[in-house]
Each structure stands twice: as structure tokens, then as C-alpha cells.
Chain A
Amino acid sequence: MATLPVAEQPVAEFERLSLSALLEFYGAKFRTELALQFAYRGALAIWLLSLVSQPLISLVVWTTVAETNGGSAGGFTAGEYAAYFVILMVVNQLTFSWHMWEFEWRVRTGFFSPVLLRPLHPVHNDIIENLTFKALTLVALLPIAVTLGFAFDARFAPSLADVVAFGPALVLAMALRFLVEWTVALAAFWMTRTMAVNQVFGVLSFFLSGLIAPLALFPAPVQVAAAILPFRWSVAFPVELAQGQLSGVEILLGLLAQVIWIVLAVVLLRLVWRHGVRRYSAVGA
């Protein structure tokens, strides 16, 4: 083979991370990740089950409450509850992430090292892992959601504006929830056991994101907290939007809130990352 002096060999321009380069990585990682997920078919099925069962339980509870209450409870009819939780099932599946629970292991065992040595920010690795998992599970989840929607007689009436705004709201919610949870996950750089932090964040998220019940059912202070913090914007907002609950102004303000929070989250992530990664001790590896 030719032995060019190294100076004359083509060297990739790593300084500028172009979008096309990033997409090329996403594509390649998508293919390997897909192969990997298929290798773990069983685990995939169990995950799917948990993604379905939790909203399904809420759905059954709340529609039952509404029906025994004479058709409605807290201003929602049984059909509206059904719609809320069926849409929530899909939105939750598309926005959730698990890296918070994985980071501790990565940092503690040094398994983070190979990812850190790539000329690419480690967040990209997780973004595409996350998206691949979602693409795969969505295929199975959508038919389940549709079936449940019919079975529980889900009632919702989105306007044309709602339908148009749903796409961006959903994508922004996905980005926001991922960024926030990935930043929280970085706590692993400071602590050996992050379980407690994750647990607190999980409980907050469960209530303030509208996962346990529509936010409209909560007292006003809770609703304000959910709106000031990123929680409402990372899950509940697109669900409410798809249900047709929101006015045009509310939709625009919601999208704005999402964008503002995403910008904040990116700044925060970079800041926390910069300080956290210094503490990485690459144990074992």
C-alpha cells in the first residue's frame, strides 16, 4: 500500500462540526443501534409494556371516576379523559429518556471513557440512541393507542390550528425533556449514587408534567409551578394542544415557552457539562 507521509494525508476537518457530518453519524449510529435493539427483542417488549401500562392504569382510573360521577369529573368527561391519556401515552413514549438512570453506572465504572474520546460531544450518542428506541417502539405503540382510543371512546376535537401546531410542539417537547433530563443526569459526576436525585426529579415530573392527571385538576399553585418550570412544556402542553383545549394565543405562548426553555436548557447543559466532566475520574477504564 502507499505510505504517504502523514502531513499529506487527508485529515477530516474536526474543528467545524457540520450538520451533514452529524447526520452521517446519526445515520450510522441508527443502523448499529437498530441491530442492537433487535438483539434485545425481549427487553424491548418489556419496555413497551411499561410504556403502555402506566398511562393505561391512569386512563382506566379516571374514566371510571368520571363515569361513576355521572359522566364527568373535574370538568372532564370520560371520553375526554380517555383522549388525554391515549395521547399522553404517545407523547410520553416520544419524550421520555432513561439516561438519568444510566449515567451513574457509566461514570462509576468508567464505561463513559470511549464515548468521551470521540471527536464528537457525547450527547449526540444519546440523542440518536433515544431516537432509535422511539422509532422502534412507536411502530408498536401507535396501533395500541389507536385501539385504546376506540375502546374507551376517546373524545377530542382539535382545530386545524391545533393539528398544525402539534408537530412543532411535540418536537420541541422531545428536545426539552431530553435536554433537561440529560442535564440532571450529569449529577453523576458529583455523586456516586444518583438514585435519590433521580427519584425526586421523577416524582416532580410525574405530577408537574401531567403524567398522573391533567394539570387542570391541580390547585392553582401547582399549575403555576408546572408552567414556570419546564415540566408542563415537556409533556402536558402537546397533549392539551391535541385535545383542542387551548386557544390560539395559548398555543403561541406555549411554543414560545418551549423555545425559551430549550435555550436555557442548552446553556445549562453546557455549563454543567463543562464543570462535571472535569470531575470524571475514568475509573477502571
Chain B
Amino acid sequence: MRITPSTARTRESSVPWADSAVIAVRGLRKVYEVPEREGGVRAAAGSLFRRRTREVVAVSGIDFAIQPGEVVGFLGPNGAGKTTTLKMLSGLLYPTSGEASVLGFTPWRRDRAYLGRMTLIMGQRNQLTWDIPVIDSYELNRAIFRIPWPEYRRRRDELIDLLEIGELVRKPVRNLSLGERMKCEIAGSLLHQPTVLFLDEPTIGLDVGMQRRIRAFIADYNERYDATILLTSHYMADVEALCRRVIVIHHGSLLYDGDLPGLVRRFSPHKTITVEFEEGFSQAPGERLAALIAPAGEVVEQSAIGATLRVPKAETARVTGRLLAELPIADLTVEDPPIEEVIERVFSSGSSEAPGQDQVAAEITREAERR
């Protein structure tokens, strides 16, 4: 583990269960108590005397461990408990129960030594002071994190260089665009060179070019400093570019923890077959096509020159063989569905009764039970 030896000894011994992990979480749970009442004056008056509260389980007992230098994607639909987990790990929130150890510290004790070694960057929240030039906020961070002046100048200039924000740092934050602000925010959050980074939607609302640059920067930071990064994003491009490993949570529970291809294998029981017919084959194959891929396959899209089909994984070989034998096919490709689609199916399965999702839902239940 990469923290100063003096603290490493005392901290690590207190959490033997964390082993060599930088971030370790055990049975972490957060329940919010939310006041609840009907709308209207009557209900409002009633709540004066009897306040009703409802418990909302945001995170319901999750476990995982992240090793030094890993970049892990933390995925889940809105309200899955991602941000709540990040807030607990960064020390903003007390959990209802469970344990966590980050760099050997219990985050919510908010030990100064811990806060000085990690950072939490939120795409929709600003820590830079709105009305003063960015560089002034940086200097304040220098004092807060007690970075020696020469070290500070070196890091600041390097970050300004890498993020190409030389033009921006003399302007007040309020005069910056969303993307510019995000870049300045990232630089400000890394001045103290944290070894653990929690990134919550770091590319939200940014254009594609900016997203790509921030992605490259994060990858570079990880490589340079062997930093451990836990990142949430709704953009699968971020996750595909940065994370070898993903952790998926849904309704506060862990659904999957492993590599990206594994996620596709586990949660997408289908393959997509795209066929292109030979020229001159003008008759619409409609019913014939449907008959060929029956019973489990389905035609997603078709035209006079080709079709896109979705078939169960186990049927792929059989269906492909039949298509090639029965129809004048010029080209045929078999693919996994795009990662976005898989994720979408995983997310929607827990909450809706949409037909065709049963299989995924069953898979998720099995997965949950196994844990």
C-alpha cells in the first residue's frame, strides 16, 4: 500500500479484513429516513402531531474490495445507491451499518490524514469559489492541504498544462462554461495529489471532445501516480475506455463485480445476427425469416436488402446454419449487443415488467442469491 510508513502501520493493523485492498467495503448499508405525508393542508396539519417517516434503503449491504492502482467503474441506474456509496467512502455520510476501510482509514471518521489523501469530484457540484479567479481558489487549496510552495507551483503548472486551462485560471469561475469549470475543478481537486479518487459523473454535460480529453487525463493520472479510482458515469464510453473492472449496483444491492466482457456474457443471453441478402433477392423474406429463427429468435429490423435478428446465445450456431442454407445470403455477422443495450436491460429489468426481460430478471435474482 502506498501511504507513508508511519501511518500505514497503525492504520492497517486496525482493519485486517481489508487485506491489501486500498478500498474495502463490508456489509455497507445506508437507510435514509424520509418524512412522508399526503399533499394538502389537512395532511400538513396532521403531520404537526404525528410525523410519519418512511425508510428508504439507499444501499443495502454491499461488499467489495479494490486493489491499489485499479480503475473501477461503478454502474447503476439513477437512484441505485452509487452516489450514496461514494459519499460514505469519502467521509461525507455516516452509514447506517457496515464497515469500510480506505487507505486503512474509516472514512466517516474524517481523519485529517485521510481527507488529505483522497478526493471526491462531482460533476454537478463545485468546490471552487464562484466569484474569484480560479487560481485564487487553487491557492486556498494549497494552504488547506499544506502543499509546499515549490511543489504547489510545479503541480499547478503541470495540471494547467495537461488540462489546457492556462487561459481560464485567471477568470472568475462564474464566467466559465460547464466544461471549462469541470476541467478547473479537476485540477483543483488534484493539487494535493490524492492517491484515492472518487469521481461521480466527471464528464456529465460535456461535449464528446471534452469527454475524451478528461478520460485521457484520468487514465494518465492513474498511470503516473498509481492512484486508485472509483468512477461512476452514465457514458459507457468512459467506462469502456478507463475501467477493466465494473461493479454494478441496483436498488442498493450488488449485481455484478467483474470485467466488462463478463458483464455482457452474463446479462445478455442474446446475440445479434445481421444478414445482407444477395443482390436481386427482392422477395421480402418476412415469414420465412421468422420461421427460420423460431421459436426463440426475433426479427428486430428488416428491409429488402437485409435484416437484424436477435437470437438466444445457445441457438446462434443452429440459426446461422439454417439462414445460410435457406436464404441467398451475401454477408452475415454475429455480435454481442452493444454495452449500452446490455446495461439498459440490466437496469430496467429490476423495476419493470416489460416482456422479454424475464430471463435477465431471473439471472439477476440468481446472481443476488448467490451472493
Contacts and interface: CB of A to CB of B under 8 A. Distances in A.
A160 interface: no
Interface in A48-80: none
A233 B252 CA distance: 51
Contact of A114 (B7, B116, B127, B131): B127
Interface residues of A, number: 40
A11 B4 CA distance: 7
B92 A117 contact: yes
A9 B92 CA distance: 27
A277 B108 CA distance: 10
B154 A36 contact: no
B64 interface: no
Contacts of A3: 224-225
Contact of A29 (B3, B140, B225): B140
Interface stretch (B143-151, B334-342, B352-360): B143-151
Residue of A5, A14, A21, A35 ringed by the most chain B CB atoms within 10 A: A14
A12 B145 contact: yes
B112 A119 contact: yes
B139 interface: yes
A14 B115 contact: yes
Interface string A1-25: 1010111011110110100010011
Interface string A101-115: 000000000100110
Contacts of B131: 36, 39-40
B132 interface: yes
A114 B125 contact: yes
B226 A113 contact: no
Interface in B49-106: 87, 90-94
A7 B226 CA distance: 10
Contact of B115 (A25, A117, A284, A285): A117
Given A9-B193, A32-B132, A113 B112 contact: no
A269 interface: no
Contacts, number: 114
Contact of A35 (B90, B108, B132, B154): B132
A32 B94 contact: no
Given A6-B195, A28-B142, A120 B93 contact: no
Contacts of A27: 143
B143 A116 contact: no
A5 B227 CA distance: 10
B91 A117 contact: yes
Nearest to B122: A285
Interface string A209-239: 0000000000000000000000000000000
Contacts of A31: 136, 139
A10 B144 CA distance: 15
Contacts of B32: 281
Given A28-B140, A32-B137, A119 B113 contact: yes
Contacts of A113: 92, 125
Contacts of A268: none
Nearest to A113: B92
A116 B92 contact: yes
B129 A32 contact: yes
A60 to B, nearest CB: 37
Interface in B213-233: 224-227
A189 to B, nearest CB: 11
Nearest to A40: B131
B120 interface: yes
B26 interface: no
B226 A282 contact: no
A280 interface: yes
B129 A282 contact: no
Given A7-B4, A278-B94, A120 B112 contact: yes
Contacts of B144: 25, 28, 118-120
Contact of A25 (B92, B143, B151, B192): B143
A116 to B, nearest CB: 6
B145 A32 contact: no
Nearest to B117: A11
Given A15-B112, A29-B143, A117-B119, 13 more contacts: A6-B3, A6-B227, A7-B2, A7-B3, A10-B151, A12-B145, A14-B112, A31-B139, A32-B129, A110-B125, A118-B144, A285-B92, A285-B122
Closest 9 CB pairs of A and B: A28-B143, A114-B127, A14-B112, A12-B146, A119-B112, A119-B115, A119-B116, A6-B2, A14-B116
17 contacts: A3-B225, A6-B225, A6-B226, A10-B148, A12-B147, A12-B192, A14-B113, A25-B144, A32-B132, A114-B125, A116-B92, A119-B114, A119-B115, A119-B144, A278-B108, A279-B94, A280-B94
